[in-house]
Structure 1
Amino acid sequence: MQLNGVSAHSCVDEEKEEVEESEISPPTRVVVGYALTSKKKKSFLQPNLILLARSKGIQFVSIDIKRPLSEQGPFDIVIHKLTEKEWSQVIEAYRREHPEVTVLDPPDAIQHVYNRQSMLEDIADLKLPDSYGKVCIPKQLVISTDPTSIPDEVTKAGLRVPLVVKPLVVDGSAKSHELFLAYDLFSLSEMEPPMVLQEFVNHGGVLFKVYVVGESIKVVRRFSLPDIAKCDLSTSSGVFPFPRVSCAAASAEDVDLDPSIAELPPRPLLEGLARELRHCLGLRLFNIDMIRQKGTKDLYYVIDINYFPGYGKMPEYEHIFTDFLLNLVQSKYDQIPVA
């Protein structure tokens, strides 16, 4: 059958191709739902990010946690950082019911790095090549109950003072970020379990913060605790709180430092570490706190991993994050088979 010189079969084929093309083309607007604390909203959703995102067709939409999530949207991507158990159940159910939506990240994977014991054990299990340096974790011990037994347990475990004392669980509260430095074992009996004790490693007072956004990484220097000399140990005792030294105000980027201390870890080492952790943790948004042992060129320690960290402190985070969101959507549509 001919229609104006063109077969009906040909018209149907062309129409089918147009439908298939429209089905696999990424949307011109990307809707990103977010469920964040007010503090995280303020630090992350800065005006520059919102304006750049808008220019790229990305719209951020606040999720109302008091309403059913399935009634909101539709979303292309959901980002979240809430620690309540109820929310974890809500977002997990939503992931199962809406596989077409990219959820950053799975709640079970997030919970895994909220435990300081399990987060670092993953590092110890990684099989990284030593070509560009060795990545370790500090010797550590978990104290679950009975602080009076700490001196004996520390001695049995072979740990030496000074020790960094950290709460075992990172639950988003200010208390979960309260860190202490213990100069003697008996003062540790005053601390409240559960907690993690880590051997302090001298590192020249500089910390490397490695931000991971999907496959992109950005590393910056931050000031950290100063080195502790043996003479300090012989004259000091007690447990002392120390500030959150890795905040933006403690940037060590534009300071004249000893090159042996300031030199960033090799890029291939960071890329390999980030790649292995993405696979191992099942996360795409996190940062790694690393130090280099003083007096060495290539011995590094990972001392913390944080989920959805303060990206607002990362240089060029607006461009990196918006490109990441667009690539997520594009890759999803690229995976749809063409009939």
Structure 2
Amino acid sequence: MESCLSNNKTIGVWMSDKKSQKLNWKELINTCASHGYDLLKLDLERPLEEQGHIDVLLHKLTDIIAAADQGDSKASIIISGVEQYLSNHPNITVIDPLDNVRILLNRYCYYTILQDEPSFHKQGIFTPSFAEFTTNNIEMNIEVMRQRGVKFPVICKPTIAHGSKSAHDMIVVFNEKGLHVCKPPCVVQTFVNHNAVLHKVFLIGDRYHIRERPSLKNFYASEELEPIYYSTGEVCKADSQSTLSILDPHDKADITMTLNEDKIKTIIRVLRKRIGLLLAGFDVVIDNVTGGHAVIDINVYPSYDSFPNFFEHLLESIDELVNKKSHKVYSNGDCNGVYDDDCHKMNGLINVGLDPIKFGVTGMNIN
């Protein structure tokens, strides 16, 4: 897979073995070649300087970045090496810049960004009220919930959104006595009833694709109910068949909740401007009372499990970034590969899959 002598530019790729095994490398190599790129699979155990010239770094380093930021010495050495390499070669287009990725490693951080976004409030877009627990003191945690307007039931999530399997382990808590299961650092977020329907939005630059997935059924505050543990992989995957997604009889009213695509476009523009990632995704649920659109999660380089012509759209977006960088059409001189409204003036957002396929899976999967 290593680059040969040619006039092609080179894309250096790194992702975990697990994700690498799920990738159709032959198709990716062919698509890269058709756009004038060679592919170089990077080895983070070796000095990057010894592995050949690259023009683009395409990576999913989220777990290693998260581990490094939590003090893992091996991960810290790897990330320091990558950062030094990129500092030595500022002309490399990075997908996506490590500092931008770090924003989405911390749920409290990106929920705060969403909560503070003024354009959301005018359009019925919100992130549910949330609070961070940094202590096991339940009285203090109840007080911080009160101050931040967090109401039961809540979803308890680890603050760190990547780096371990537990990052995707959640707990539904119905009352104060159930808060003892929340282990800091964690975020508790008011649960929004949404009739067990989740809308996942996958982004590649200005291209997006929306998929409908199963989700948690409606829940209500209760002094009797014990906490419910679950993994998002068990409940919200395309082929999930969890009993937690089955609406109770009293919830099966004829309520039609339609996703508003203009609101989705607003969210995309905000994420590109405030966070600046080429490869990202976010989850939206619709409040079954108000119809408000709640952004409940954002992901770095999500599983593009049904994104039509994923590789072609990826390479077209890489082309756009590389061309912008080579022509130095940037605000402040250089954007270091950041894909946002200051670096790439949008000609409009493109929905690449206008025919929704409910709960299905097609094409490749990088999850």
TM-score normalised according to structure 1 size: 0.79
1:278 aligns with 2:272: yes
| Aligned ranges 1:235-314 → 2 under 5 Å | 235-244=224-233, 245-250=235-240, 260-261=256-257, 263-266=258-261, 268-297=262-291, 299-314=292-307
1:62 aligns with 2:57: no
> Which has the higher Rg, Structure 1 or Structure 2?
1
Does the 8 Å contact 2:32/2:315 carry over to 1? yes
Does the 8 Å contact 1:112/1:119 carry over to 2? yes
Shift of 1:305: 0.9
Distance 1:234 1:108, change over 3 A: same
Does the 8 Å contact 2:130/2:149 carry over to 1? no
In structure 1, C-alpha distance between the alignment counterparts of 2:188 and 2:43, rounded to whole Å = 39
Distance 1:212 1:111, change over 3 A: same
| Aligned ranges 1:50-89 → 2 under 5 Å | 50-82=29-61, 83=64, 84-89=75-80
1:123 aligns with 2:114: yes
Distance 1:187 1:129, change over 3 A: closer
1:111 aligns with 2:102: yes
1:203 aligns with 2:194: yes
| 1:139 aligned partner, one-letter code | S
In structure 2, C-alpha distance between the alignment counterparts of 1:260 and 1:30, rounded to whole Å = 49
In structure 2, C-alpha distance between the alignment counterparts of 1:103 and 1:272, rounded to whole Å = 25
| CA-atom RMSD in angstroms | 2.7
Distance 1:198 1:101, change over 3 A: same
Shift of 1:130: 6.5
| Aligned ranges 1:128-139 → 2 under 5 Å | 128=119, 133-139=123-129
Shift of 1:243: 4.1
Distance 1:44 1:258, change over 3 A: farther
Does the 8 Å contact 1:81/1:308 carry over to 2? yes
Q: What is the aligned partner in structure 2 of residue 320 from structure 1?
A: 313
| Aligned ranges 1:20-35 → 2 under 5 Å | 29-35=8-14
Residue of structure 1 aligned with 2:208, choices 196, 212, 217: 217
| 1:141 aligned partner, one-letter code | A
| 1:321 aligned partner, one-letter code | L
1:175 aligns with 2:166: yes
Instruction: Identify, as 1 or 2, the structure richer in helix.
Output: 1
SS of alignment partner, residue 266 of structure 2: helix
In structure 2, C-alpha distance between the alignment counterparts of 1:76 and 1:116, rounded to whole Å = 32
Shift of 1:198: 0.3
Q: Report the number of matched residues.
A: 300
In structure 1, C-alpha distance between the alignment counterparts of 2:325 and 2:99, rounded to whole Å = 22
Does the 8 Å contact 2:196/2:218 carry over to 1? yes
SS of alignment partner, residue 169 of structure 1: coil
- In the alignment, structure 1 segments of 5+ residues that lack a partner are 1-26, 252-256
In structure 1, C-alpha distance between the alignment counterparts of 2:176 and 2:121, rounded to whole Å = 34
Shift of 1:260: 2.5
- In the alignment, structure 2 segments of 5+ residues that lack a partner are 1-5, 65-74, 242-252, 330-367
| 2:277 aligned partner, one-letter code | L
Q: Percent of aligned positions with the same letter in both sequences? A: 26
